[in-house]
Amino acid sequence: MKRGSPALEPVVLEGSFVRLEPMTLDHHAGLTEIGLDPEVWRLTVAVVRTPEEMRSYMESALRLQREGTSLPFVTIERSSGRVVGSTRFGNYDPANRRIEIGWTWLARPWQRTAVNTEAKYLMLSHAFEKLGCVRVEFKTDVLNSPSRKAMLRIGATEEGVLRKHTLMWTGRYRDSIYYSILDEEWPQVKEQLEKMLVRRPGAGAAGD
């Protein structure tokens, strides 16, 4: 039995629709340009309303990257080269070979497009096929119905709700609902995602 997974190193993940670049502070202007829409942060744990808050958001993500538990990406639409959002590997546990995908947000024009579907495909492929994970986790607010439906649509299994799990920026304690995909399930999920990208390049999946 393989024991442990490798360290989480920065890597560019690129597909037909999207390129995921490791986040750096050089991306600040691009993320700020599309990331100050209040609707984007309505059901997220963090909130970004100003360029200064975007920088703090990025610095926090990069601090976790330096600790080895996270790898934040900037999401770039390949056809235009535009920064359109961000996503992240987080809570990496190489000893137990598990990782979380989440902290995902996209500017509204790119929501429910192939960008997010392919981003999930690329990240899941990396987690299972390069990092050797046996479990990939997702979580979201129980109130986030689109995200919940999207995770089920890509083949994740709903596991349960952690009540009063996270204090939101609004002061509300959210109940978080967890989903997962296991290594033995990945071949079927991979096939399903590939069909989605060909048949309907608009079925997205989010989570944080």
Q: Where are the domains of the chain?
A: 13-199
Per CATH, is 13-199 categorized as 3.40.630.30? yes
Contact present, 157 and 179 (Cβ < 8 Å): yes
CA 158, 164, 167, 168 torsion-angle sign: positive
CA distances from 180 to 54, 106, 207 (A): 29, 22, 12
CA 193, 197, 202, 207 torsion-angle sign: positive
pLDDT at site 203: 44
Q: Which residues of the chain have pLDDT under 50?
A: 1, 201-206
Q: Is this model's pTM higher than 0.85 or not?
A: yes
Contact present, 73 and 104 (Cβ < 8 Å): no
pLDDT at site 2: 57
pLDDT at site 5: 85
pLDDT at site 1: 42
pLDDT at site 94: 96
d(CA 61, CA 202): 28
CA 160 remoteness from chain centre: 19
